[in-house]
Amino acid sequence: MNFNELLLAGNENHPQNIFLKFEEECYTYADMWNITNRLANGFLKKGIKKGDHVSIILSNRPEFIWSWFALSKIGAIAVTLDTRLKGSLLHHQLKNSESMAIITEDEFLPAILEMDMKNDLGIDRLIIISDKDVTGIKKEMTHFNTLLNESEVDSGLIEYTLLPGWPLTIVYTSGTTGPAKGVVNPHETFVLSGRDIGDAVGMDQTDNLYLFLPLFHANPQLMGIPALLLNGATIVLGRKFSASSFWDTVNHYHVTLFTYVGTVLSILDKVTPPLVRTSLRTAYGGGAPEEIWRSLEKKTNARMMEGYGMAEIGGFAIMNSLKESKIGSIGKPRELYDIRIFDDHDCELPAGEVGEIVVRPNVPYSMFTSYFNMEKNTISAMRNLWFHTGDLAEKDSNGFFYFKGRKKNMIRRKGENISAYDIENMVQQHPSILENAVVPIPDEIAGQEIKLSVVCRKGEEVSIEELYKWLLDNLPSHLVPRYLEIRESFEKTSSEKIKLQVLIDEGIKHVWDRERKQISR
């Protein structure tokens, strides 16, 4: 089954079920089917065809889902980009993905228009959600609603006979040894993830699944929407995560399920009273400490189900389930994967020893097929025919896995991976900075915070305040470091590499803290 057959099954089996609730808007599965048919026909009229790559730069709103589904129906590939990107980081992902069109909204238009898209990137079509009369754009521009309203509902265009392994999305994931990589996931990966998530959490058509994580993220794409389509359940779509209004939203929409990453549960635990009345029955995701897991289960009388995964391995590869669960673990592997623990020489370790999580498929097209336009990165990640996650774990004698930290040089802040490499590359563009380094600092709420250390060029000076303002102007908000320091020099290895561990060990003493707007003592 491909994703278009999954969409068809959702419409044929549950046409009058509610597919999506968004604030005061409500759409049935039949509505979803007809809207995306019209939009797909509109895309074809605009010259978007099978095999084309189209970037979606949209906030959490129904149009994101309609765009993704419509592109799927004509065999095009959705490139879902982080809405906070700008400058060279956005440029890299648009160029690397070979996108020929962009679907966006007013808020993100300035960052897009800063780049010479047609000459440099080959992008000459812009589809925009806007109530304004947008002028001065030197490329073919179409209003989203005009395209939708002027197109027919005819479903004869739908590609049901796509080749096995045909790509559905490209999602960018940060790396530490190079620019962000485009994870290519085929149609089958989404269908299989939907099947296994539905089974693990016992999803059925009575469920309301709250999705508040960004839709450009692999979590809602792989761990939420496919399972809903298979089971006729309902999406409750939030614009973003809000701890203060979370339980009010859950009860208002009768939410029974939600997905999470990182520190979501840790933050929720701090605002949840000892006993809260709620419609929730299960939350599932990754990144919850054992004590938070126990605390929220007690407070909500709902199940917390921890797992492990990433965009490359179906969104999740290991997970607790209603049938088998062990608090403190990340669960057991999905049957369609062969998952083992390796040492640094790719030798398998026995139960009870910590090593790297490695994965390979037992079922074709159940995980990513490549990093787009990055053959060397793909080959490196698949060393000895195993996908190397860069993360550490151990397993017990009963087959449960336990997460033990990250092997990669990656900062895990508020549930998302942040590449030190990306920040360092951007900071190095500052005219007064000779060299810089970015390291993680442990934090109770965020998991990890970002610390930036810089050394200025000889004869040049920059104040903390000037540096901070430059960072705000040049970095996406989620990449702006919390801690800043200006140093005379860095300690280095014999090969002239900065000793990052020294910066980590020094912590935050005598560095500037943006939340306190002062030097820590």
What are the residues whose beta carbons fall under 8 Å from the beta carbon of 473, sequence distance 6 or more?
none
What's the pLDDT score for residue 174?
62
Arithmetic mean of pLDDT, 45-73:
97
Q: Could you give the maximum distance between any two Cα atoms of the chain, in Å?
A: 71
- 177 — pLDDT class (breaks 50, 70, 90): very low
Distance between first and last Cα of the chain: 59
| CA gap 148, 10 in Å, rounded | 21
- 45 — pLDDT class (breaks 50, 70, 90): very high
Two structure tokens written together for 118: 């047609």
DSSP three-state, residue 19: strand
Two structure tokens written together for 230: 């298979």
Q: Which comes out higher in pLDDT, residue 120 or 321?
A: 321
- Which helix (H) or strand (E) element contains residue 73? helix 62-73
Q: Number of H helices and number of E strands within the chain?
A: 16, 28
DSSP three-state, residue 423: helix
**Average pLDDT taken over every residue of the chain:** 91
**Rounded (to 5) percent helix, strand, coil in the chain:** 30, 30, 40
Q: How many CB atoms within 10 Å of residue 395?
A: 25
| CA gap 23, 391 in Å, rounded | 38
Residue with the two structure tokens 């000793």: 499
Domains of the chain: 1-318 (3.40.50.12780), 410-519 (3.30.300.30)
What's the pLDDT score for residue 459?
87
Q: Is the pLDDT of residue 138 over 70?
A: no
Burial label, 341 (beta-carbon count in 10 A; 0-12, 13-18, 19+): buried
Arithmetic mean of pLDDT, 351-366:
96
Q: Is the pLDDT of residue 124 over 90?
A: no
| CA gap 439, 453 in Å, rounded | 9
pLDDT per position as a tens digit, 477-521: 999 999 999 999 988 754 456 888 889 999 998 899 998 887 655
Q: Which comes out higher in pLDDT, residue 349 or 243?
A: 349
| CA gap 450, 411 in Å, rounded | 7
pLDDT per position as a tens digit, 360-413: 999 999 999 999 999 999 999 999 999 999 888 999 999 999 998 777 667 888
Chain centroid to Cα 182, Å, comes to: 12
Arithmetic mean of pLDDT, 104-125:
81
Model pTM score: 0.83
Instruction: Flag the least confident range among 16-20, 339-343, 409-413.
Output: 409-413
Arithmetic mean of pLDDT, 41-55:
96
- Which helix (H) or strand (E) element contains residue 94? helix 87-97
Burial label, 84 (beta-carbon count in 10 A; 0-12, 13-18, 19+): middle
Burial label, 68 (beta-carbon count in 10 A; 0-12, 13-18, 19+): buried
What's the pLDDT score for residue 84?
86
Q: Is the pLDDT of residue 321 over 50?
A: yes
Torsion over CA of 261, 263, 264 and 266, rounded to 10 degrees?
A: 140
Q: Which comes out higher in pLDDT, residue 120 or 323?
A: 323
| CA gap 311, 317 in Å, rounded | 10
